[in-house]
Amino acid sequence: MTARRIAVVSAGLSNPSSTRMLADRLAAATVTELASRDIAAETDTFELRDLAHDITNNLLTGFAPPALETMINTVVSADALIVVTPIFSTSYSGLFKSFIDVLDPDALRGKPVLIGANAGTARHSLAIDYAIRPLFAYLHAEPVSTGVFAASSDWGGAADQVAPLAERVARGARELADAVARRESTAVDDPFDPATYLGEGRSFGHLLGGLTGE
């Protein structure tokens, strides 16, 4: 059986970053959960900070540079998606939203998504439900019920003892693995077929014109 592919997107700005740490833990837990179901899985992890200039150029010109195009194709064709963003000003980061803006509006339709977020304090934990989850609902993706938030204290001795981060990671990974197991493996589309990046019924005008409505 073909291994399932999980695309992992980290929107952290620093290096190293707690955003990437959380993304790695979610990815590893998901692969473990899938293995327990006798489903092989591979992960492709992307740091948006490495593609920030390409994302900006795509927003300005409507064309994705090669590295960004490769990432977009990987994300769109994956069997599931794990996304983790830092919380700035009570919402997802601007870099994370800019990446979402360069995707075709239908690119994530029906795709299982595990949402993660991190911030300095647990006061921002509700941002997953009032900011990030509605964004993926608008894109017609299928976020799993559990969103995993990590505050700075979750990485140290003052971590939440009632619902430890490890338990939350395991629960989110379990739900994503269940969603992947229910779906047939995503076929790898022909990258030269316009339908791959335009979607059914979309025209070359969308590709050449950049973002919808421009």
pLDDT at res. 160 = 58
Contact 4, 79 (CB under 8 A): yes
pLDDT in tens, 43-75: 999 999 999 999 999 999 999 999 999 999 999
User: Rounded to whole angstroms, how far apart are CA atoms 47 and 26?
Assistant: 15
Q: Is residue 194 part of a domain?
A: no
Q: Is residue 176 part of a domain?
A: yes
How many domains is the chain built from?
Answer: 1
Domain encompassing residue 49: 4-189
Contact 115, 158 (CB under 8 A): no
Asked if residue 208 has pLDDT above 70, the reply is no
pTM score:
0.84
Q: Which residue has the higher pLDDT, 121 or 28?
A: 28
Helix (H, G, I), strand (E, B) or coil at 29: helix
Tokens of 92: 């997802």
Residue 33: give its domain's CATH number: 3.40.50.360
For a pLDDT cut of 90, what percent of the chain falls above it?
A: 72
Average pLDDT over residues 6-33: 95
Q: Is residue 93 part of a domain?
A: yes
Is the bond preceding 16 in cis, omega lying within 30 degrees of 0?
Answer: yes
Backbone torsion region of residue 165, taken as left when φ is above 0, otherwise alpha when ψ lies between -120 and 50, otherwise beta: alpha
Average pLDDT over residues 193-201: 49
Q: What's phi and psi for 8, nearest 5 deg?
A: -120, 125
